[in-house]
Amino acid sequence: PDPASFEHCTIGGNVATNAGGPRCLKYGVTRNYVTGLEVVLANGDLLRTGGRVHKNKTGFDLIGLFVGSEGMLGVATEITVKLLPLPPARATLSASFDTMSEAAATVQQIFAAGFLPSSLEIADKFTLEAARQDSGAANVPSGNAHLLVDLDGQEETVGVEMRKVRDLIQSRKPSALEIATNESDCERLWALRREFSNSLRATGLTKLNEDVVVPRSRLVDLIAFAEALSERSGFPIACFGHAGDGNIHVNIMADRYNRDASVREKVQVALDELFAQVRRWDGVITGEHGIGLAKKRWWPQAGDEIARGLHQTLKRALDRNNILNPGKFLD
């Protein structure tokens, strides 16, 4: 999955949150790599499930139950994961566009043409401007929107796909296009993407980082909605993230958020609007970060009532005294 926090995150944290990242478009999320778990339950029992096998249909998918449970059902003390060989070839295409709608439409066209990149990332004008202020204009592509397309696989296959994707992007009239075909040059293009969050924090505004997911067919609509929401709310909104799977970090950038209760209330109203619209599109309010504390307010609207009730039943069955990560969204 290649979590953006790879320099700091841990396997245990990745399992607790079912972490994703830029490469989960092609390779899946953490759950796709966990084949076995040892878990200490709230009553002290030691559960072992799965093992060093690729297929296992021995009963229910208990691994899937604990991966992503945010530490509320048990504590993983041993984790078995499968590894994949590193693809021998890679190419990265960095494209700039005048508008986010043009960039988002290009994303949809790439998939319509039958390609499956390992990563496909997008960034808007506010994010790029923050990066220019933080890292220097010379290190940031021109334009008001940016796409980063990663391809990997066998050398011949990657070469053919790179040329076809290049031609497709060029047909969309980008303002700039840069291509890298070796690991060091690809990582140079990716270095900018990995610093977006830090650059946004460097603006001095409080970054309220959301991770909504919409059907990919709604990507253009989400971008337009975020722009309109920014106008209505008065808050700058920075959008970047995993365009390939519809998982966009919609960051409300708020001044005086920690000092002014009225600002916090306005942010909550803006998030109410965002999450309600995402749900109307059959999307979800979190694709990576989980509910935890930050989204506890929206848990009642986040999904089906029966599903929420089943969460409560599972929590009571496995942690009757509520000693595992208490105070979160199930309380």
Q: Note the pLDDT tens digit of each residue in 97-130.
A: 999 999 999 999 999 999 999 999 999 999 999 9
DSSP state of 219: H
Does one domain contain both 133 and 164?
A: yes
Q: Kindly report the pTM of this predicted structure.
A: 0.93
Does one domain contain both 46 and 94?
A: no
* Rounded Cα gap, residues 38 and 41, in angstroms: 10
pLDDT of residue 112: 97
Q: How many CB atoms lie within 10 A of CB 160?
A: 13
Does one domain contain both 93 and 194?
A: yes
Does one domain contain both 125 and 173?
A: yes
Residues 269, 275 contacting (CB under 8 angstroms): no
Does one domain contain both 278 and 310?
A: no
pLDDT of residue 38: 98
pLDDT of residue 59: 95
Does one domain contain both 209 and 193?
A: no
Does one domain contain both 254 and 180?
A: no
Tokens linked to 185: 């040059």
Give the pLDDT confidence of 121-161 residue by residue, as tens digits. Answer: 999 999 999 999 999 999 999 999 999 999 999 999 999 99
Does one domain contain both 103 and 147?
A: yes
Does one domain contain both 211 and 266?
A: yes
CATH code at 219?
A: 3.30.70.2740
Phi then psi for 59, rounded to 5 degrees?
85, -160
Residue 90 φ/ψ region, left for φ over 0, alpha for ψ in the -120 to 50 degree band, beta for the rest: beta
Tokens linked to 239: 């959008």
Provide the residue range defining the domain that includes 102. Answer: 89-198
CATH code at 69?
A: 3.30.465.10
Does one domain contain both 207 and 289?
A: yes
Does one domain contain both 103 and 182?
A: yes
Does one domain contain both 117 and 214?
A: no
Could you list the pLDDT tens digit for every one of the 331 residues in the chain? 788 888 889 999 999 999 999 999 999 999 999 999 999 999 999 999 999 999 999 999 999 999 999 999 999 999 999 999 999 999 999 999 999 999 999 999 999 999 999 999 999 999 999 999 999 999 999 999 999 999 999 999 999 999 999 999 999 999 999 999 999 999 999 999 999 999 999 999 999 999 999 999 999 999 999 999 999 999 999 999 999 999 999 999 999 999 999 999 999 999 999 999 999 999 999 999 899 899 999 999 998 999 999 999 999 999 999 999 999 998 8
* Rounded Cα gap, residues 266 and 58, in angstroms: 50
Residues 6+ apart with CB under 8 A from 131: 139, 140, 192, 195, 196, 199
Structurally, the chain folds into a number of domains equal to 3
CATH code at 107?
A: 3.30.70.2190
User: Nearest to residue 22, comparing CAs of 287, 281, 226?
Assistant: 287
* Rounded Cα gap, residues 318 and 59, in angstroms: 18
Residues 3, 19 contacting (CB under 8 angstroms): yes
